[in-house]
A and B are shown apart, each in its own frame.
Chain A
Amino acid sequence: MSFPFVPDVHQAIDASTRLIGLAIAVTSLERACGSRYYRSGEILAWDVVRHRFPNLEKRAYAGILERAFGFPGFPLLLGVRGIVGLVLVITGAGSAVTAPALSFVFFAGLLGTWRNHDLGHSAMDRAILLVAGALCLASLAPRSELAAGAAATFIAVNAALCYFKSAIFKFRDPEWRRGWKALEIVDTSYLGRRTVAGFFRAHPALTRAATWQVLGVELAFPLALLGGATTAWCFVVWGLVFHAANWVILGLRGFVWTFAACYPPIIWLAAAIAATGTG
């Protein structure tokens, strides 16, 4: 294997399919195992979420939706989606089951985000939808270089856009500019950790460094696509370390696999752009 390793477009799509399958499996099975939180009287119950659907009873599809979004319909749907995600981890791209499996996880995910919006669903779920949707489209023409290239480009560009756009918005936030955001995030009962918050409070210089490195790298992330494969690998390694740290400190598990699914297309696209530039 040469360094830096650059996958061809089909390898990139295959790796992306397996990794997004893992992200879907982990997040969906975890939710399905917490099915009690979807029962009546809980925060994720259909009677709580249903307020988002005024006049639902007037719709022709109300009965189907009530069953699919209620209990035990919705946790069951999540469980099946998780199992199909595992199938994608095993088969990858290019098998006979890839297109139907990707279609299922995509449409089930769309239903899930429609039901919950951001109540128990996050930016990660929307990122999963984007990657799964693009891979699903590519799987309709499994031998096509053009379709695979378009899907890989779509995934890579949107991952870079996600980091870049977030950084632009972060610059508007005074806490990010002051360099205190890392402390503010780890100092909450929902996401934070008191020990890490205490450490950041005791070391203000490190807090500023942690905050500003996130801002700086996210802002520079489009360079991952324009600087060639070696530069892309540097950003990818940073991304893996960053999301792994978020997993350990903040408990954000699914982001690791979701963004990891975007990295093979990023490396492929960076190498393709560099080759176009030199060739």
Chain B
Amino acid sequence: MDVLVVTVLALWQVGLLAAQLRPAWLWRWIGRFRVRSLFPVWELFIGPQTDLSLFLRDRLDDGTLTDWSEEPVWPGGVRPSILWAPCFWRAAALAALLRKLVRRERERAAGGFLAPESLPLRALWTFILGRPRSPLAATRQFRVVRTQGSLPSGPGEDAYVSEFRPLPRGALDRRIVDARAARDDSAASFVSQASNAP
């Protein structure tokens, strides 16, 4: 058993050292076995620590646009205690997804060979379309804003602005929309009858 343990650890160590050089063949091979996390490339606090904020707005059924509202990194906009913070992992995920999106879109803008819709964008849309909304909202748009940290230097610059996408309709929403359509139809038929009247 000792020899087996030492052999496995030695092979793992060789893989770890090789992974630091990021050879494409090794990356593909370990990716196939879904064990990339066993061969981490150590890059703690590398790259720009960009401060990104996410804003959402909806277009209502009648075409009205709502104001931009921020989706706070920390739920409720309050930083949690340093001792116990279950929401830390939510904040970490949102920050990571926004960073990935901005990086991918920058690569796309630079002409990189990328899929039509990147993985961070698809994941972010799934999250955004699932956020709470008014039943009158029909479509939603988001933007990612690069802010300036603690410096009071204005609202920041847009790092990404999305198109509008239709919000999924729940059963209640469908009833509201159907009721509205029925009301509009009856109003339209009333107008049409009135205009056809001699």
Q: How far is the CA of A157 from the CA of B42 in the complex (A)?
A: 13
Q: Which chain B residue lies CB-closest to A32?
A: B86
Decide yes or no: A166 and B42 within 8 Å by CB, A43-B90, A189-B73, A247-B82 being known contacts: yes
Q: How many chain-A residues does the 8 Å CB contact rule pick out?
A: 74
User: For residue B94, which residues in chain A have a CB less than 8 angstroms away from its CB?
Assistant: 43
User: For residue A185, which residues in chain B have a CB less than 8 angstroms away from its CB?
Assistant: 45, 49
Decide yes or no: A150 and B5 within 8 Å by CB, A44-B89, A120-B92, A120-B93 being known contacts: yes
**5 A-B contact pairs sorted by A residue (CB < 8 Å):** A41-B130, A48-B127, A113-B37, A120-B89, A188-B149
Q: Interface on B for A, CB 8 Å cutoff?
A: 1-2, 4-6, 8-10, 12-13, 16-17, 20, 34-38, 40-51, 53, 73-74, 79-80, 82-97, 119, 122-123, 126-127, 130-132, 147, 149-151
A45 interfacial by beta-carbon distance below 8 Å: yes
Q: How far is the CA of A113 from the CA of B36 in the complex (A)?
A: 9
User: For residue A189, which residues in chain B have a CB less than 8 angstroms away from its CB?
Assistant: 51, 53, 73-74, 147, 149
Q: How far is the CA of A34 from the CA of B44 in the complex (A)?
A: 25
Taking a contact as CB atoms under 8 Å apart, the answer to whether A137 and B149 are in contact is: no
Interface residue from B17, B20, B127 paired with A43 (Cβ < 8 Å) = B127
Interface residue from A118, A162, A181 paired with B42 (Cβ < 8 Å) = A162
Taking a contact as CB atoms under 8 Å apart, the answer to whether A188 and B49 are in contact is: yes
Taking a contact as CB atoms under 8 Å apart, the answer to whether A173 and B47 are in contact is: yes
* CB of B57 to closest CB in A, whole Å: 18
Q: How far is the CA of A52 from the CA of B124 in the complex (A)?
A: 12
Interface 0/1 of A246-270, CB less than 8 Å to B: 0110010100000000000000000
User: For residue B42, which residues in chain A have a CB less than 8 angstroms away from its CB?
Assistant: 123, 161-163, 165-166, 169
Taking a contact as CB atoms under 8 Å apart, the answer to whether B48 and A184 are in contact is: yes
Residues 108-138 (chain A) with a chain B CB within 8 angstroms? 110, 113-114, 116-123, 125-127, 129-130, 133-134, 137-138
Interface residue from B5, B46, B132 paired with A137 (Cβ < 8 Å) = B5
User: For residue B150, which residues in chain A have a CB less than 8 angstroms away from its CB?
Assistant: 187, 192, 194, 197-198, 201
Taking a contact as CB atoms under 8 Å apart, the answer to whether A127 and B13 are in contact is: no
Q: How far is the CA of A30 from the CA of B126 in the complex (A)?
A: 25
Interface residue from A114, A137, A166, A175 paired with B8 (Cβ < 8 Å) = A137
User: For residue B122, which residues in chain A have a CB less than 8 angstroms away from its CB?
Assistant: 51
Task: Find the residue from B10, B49, B73 having the highest chain A CB count within 10 A.
Answer: B49
A154 interfacial by beta-carbon distance below 8 Å: yes
Decide yes or no: A181 and B149 within 8 Å by CB, A30-B86, A41-B131, A114-B37 being known contacts: no
* CB of B54 to closest CB in A, whole Å: 10
Taking a contact as CB atoms under 8 Å apart, the answer to whether B1 and A144 are in contact is: yes
A241 interfacial by beta-carbon distance below 8 Å: no
Q: Which chain A residue lies CB-closest to B16?
A: A158
